[in-house]
Structure 1
C-alpha cells in the first residue's frame, strides 16, 4: 500500500499543505561522478517538467493549471484523460441531456479517477465510444489546495483527425461544443476550459522520456476509496519502458536489462523512491532504487535519485544521476 501525500478531502489537503510549508531548508548532499540532473517543479509542486535523458535536459515545462483534458492523438486513438496533477475525477450521471441540472448528492466514494499506470482500462471516462455518457467532472484543486469546481462533459465523436465534445455548467447552463484536432507528432493534445482551446503542453514524441509532476494515486481494494496526490515521475506516454531493481548504482550494467522485466506502465518510477521523515521534517531518498529506462529510440539509461532538494535546500527539485548503458 502506498502512503498518502495529498488526500482527496479538501480539508486534509489544505492541512497537509500547511504542514509542508513549515519544512526547513536542508544542506545539499554529496554527489557521485555520474551526470547529475535536476527537475525543478517548485516548492508547491505546481509545475510539470518534461525531461530528455539523452541530452540531460528539460525540454518543456508548464503549470499544472494550464490544462484540463488530454486527448490521445493516434489515428485509432480514443482515450480521453483528466489532469491527474490536480486530482481531477469523474462520475457518470446517467442523464441523456446536457442542459438539465445534475444533483451530485450520493456520489460519495463512487467517483472515478485515471489510475496512474496509464492503461486504457484504468480511465475515469472508460471507453465512452458506444454510449457517449455524460459525466460530472470534478476539476480538482488549485496549486494551493482550493477546489476548482464541477462541470459536465460529454465526448460525442472521434475520427482519425479530431474529437468532438460538449461541456456545460453543473446546472445545465452554458452548453458549449468543442473540436480538438489530433497532432500525429504527439501522444496527446491538451485542452483548457479557461481558453476554450488546445494548449501546448506535451512536447513531440522522441524529444522527452520522463515527466516530473504531481499525479493521482488511489488505494486499491479492499481499502476504501481514497484518491490523493503524490509527487514523482511518470513516463508521460513517451513510449519509454522502465525496469526497477535494488542495488549499487555503479554496478548496474547493460546485462541487467536481460534479467529484469520492463514495463510500459506510466508509473514504474512513481513517487516512492523517497519518503517523508517526520523526525527530520524532510524527504529522504532511497539511492539504492535503480531504474533502467529504455527510450523510444531503444537506448538504455540507468538512473537513481540522490535528493529532493535544490542547492538552497528547497523541496520540489528531484535530483538524480543518469548514465547511458
Structure 2
C-alpha cells in the first residue's frame, strides 16, 4: 500500500528526474567504519570497578560495573550458564538436586577446604571457575539438562566487590520452554526465589543479578569487539590441578569470540606498527577460540623494584564482525598515576593501493 501511494504521487510530476527522486529506497544506509582513534578506557579508576566494552568501528565504549550481574545465560542452541569471572566468582556442584538439601554443612565444608576462594594458594581453584580463555568450552556449571532431576544445585561464591565479600548463594537451573528457570537462595537461607530467563539471540548472553533480576551488561553481540576488565585468569603451574593455576588479574582484555571477533599479536621486531600493511594480514594466525589472546600480554606485571607498565614491543590486529581489520597498541597503563584508566590507539588497516 505504501509503494502504491508513492507511485500515485510521483505520477503527478512531469520528468523522469522528478519521478526517480520519489523512489522508495529501503536499502539500509551503510556507515563507514572510523579509520583511526585514541581511547581512554573507562575502567573506573584505582579499584577497577568497571568492565568496558569497546566498539572500534564507531569509537564507542560501554562501561558496566562488574558487580552488576551474577550469572550469564547463553543465547545459542546449547543451554549453558556462566558465573561472573569478573568478580572472581567460584562454584561447586553439591551432588544434590534440591535447594532445601543444601545448607550449613556444604558451606562449612567449602569454607574449611578453601576450594571456593580464588587465591595463589588454592591449587584446586581452576576446578571451580569457568575456563578463563573460553568459558563456554568448559563452564563450571554443567550444561543444563532437559531432565530436571539431572541438574544439580551449585554453591556459589559471588566473589568480591573491592574488598567486600558478598553473600554466598545456592542455585539450581533448569530449562523452561526455550529458555531457563533459575532458583536461588542465600546459601544458609530457607527462602528461595525463582526467575525465568528467555533467550535473545541478538546478544551472546542474557544476564541476571540476584538482587535486580534481568539486567543489561554487554552490548548486542555485533556491537563490541574488545573488553577491558578485571577478572579470573590462569597460568601454567605444575603443582596445581590440571597443571593450571587460577588467579585474579586487574588488566585483562578480552575479544568477542562469540560475536565473530578474532585477534592476532604482532611483535614490533617482526613488523613495526607504522609499517603494517593489509597484505601482512595473510601471514598472521588469528585466534577465534581464546578470548585472552590480548589478555594480560599487553603489559608487564612489574616486580619488587618496578611497577606494571605497557609492553611497547607488541601490538594487535583485531578483525571485527564486519571484516574490518584494525591495528591496535596500548599507550599507557594509568592516567595521572591512577590505575584503571589505560589508553590505546587504533587504525583501520586499509587494502594496499
Fold match by TM threshold 0.5: yes
- TM-score, length of structure 2 as denominator length: 0.76
1:140-155 mapped onto 2 (5 Å cutoff): 140-143=159-162, 145-155=163-173
1:48 to 46, 51, 69: 51
Structure whose alpha-carbon radius of gyration is higher: 2
Aligned residue pairs: how many?
A: 286
The match for 2:337 is 313
Q: CA deviation at 1:169?
A: 2.2
- Residue in structure 1 matched with residue 275 of structure 2 by the alignment: 251
Deviation at 1:159, TM superposition (A): 4.4
Tell me which moved more, 274-283 or 92-101.
274-283
Q: Secondary structure at the match of 1:282?
A: coil
- For residue 266 of structure 2, give the secondary structure of its aligned residue in structure 1: strand
Q: In 2, distance between residues paired with 1:79 and 1:261?
A: 29
8 Å Cα contact 1:87-1:227 kept in structure 2: no
How well do the aligned residues superpose, as a CA RMSD in angstroms?
2.0
**Does residue 211 of structure 2 align to residue 190 of structure 1?**
no
Within 5 A, what are the aligned runs for 1:1-325? 35-41=37-43, 42-58=45-61, 60-74=62-76, 76-100=77-101, 101=103, 102-104=105-107, 105=109, 107=113, 108=115, 109=124, 111-129=127-145, 131-143=150-162, 145-157=163-175, 159-160=177-178, 162-171=179-188, 173-195=190-212, 197-220=213-236, 222-224=238-240, 226-230=245-249, 231-236=251-256, 237-247=258-268, 248-264=272-288, 265-278=290-303, 281-310=306-335, 312-325=336-349
* Contact preservation (8 Å) 1:72, 1:182: yes
C-alpha distance after superposition, 1:143-171 (max 9, x if no partner): 2x2221311111111543x2112112223
Structure with the higher helix share, 1 or 2: 2
1:314 Cα offset (Å):
1.6
Distance in structure 2 (CA, Å) of the matches to 1:136 and 1:184: 28
Comparing both chains, which one has the higher relative contact order based on Cα–Cα distances under 8 Å and sequence gaps of 6 or more?
A: 1
TM-score normalized with structure 1 length: 0.82
Contact 1:98 1:172 (C-alpha < 8 Å) held by counterparts? no
